[in-house]
Amino acid sequence: MIDYHHHLDEGFSMSARFRGAGVALAAVGLSHFARPQAFESVTAAAFPDNIRRHTLIDGGIETAIGVGLVAPKTRKFALAGLVAYAVYLVTNIARNRR
């Protein structure tokens, strides 16, 4: 018989995974401000006009979502924000491919 409690203890807990993902996303978001040129080619696919402005806006959004994922009390809101952000990006990429 499989001891699921023991199996869960072997790896990172779900909360730790969310924290790690949040820290990583916040770090990527902050790096938009430190080295915006590194993100401009990716940003241009979704926002071909005002690329630098959108790079900084995206950095702010990613930082906020990442910070929200770290704390359990804000995690559900951050996940909802992450889904909305993904839809926002994909919609803009699709619109600009026409």
pLDDT at position 9, please?
52
pLDDT at position 11, please?
59
A 10 A CB-CB count for 28 gives 15
pLDDT in tens, 15-29: 999 999 999 999 999
| Domain-embedded: residue 33 | yes
Give the residue numbers spanning the domain of 67: 14-96
Rounded Cα gap, residues 17 and 64, in angstroms? 17
User: Closest by alpha carbon to 18, among 75, 58, 83?
Assistant: 75
Q: How many domains does the chain have?
A: 1
| Domain-embedded: residue 6 | no
pTM of the entire structure?
Answer: 0.84
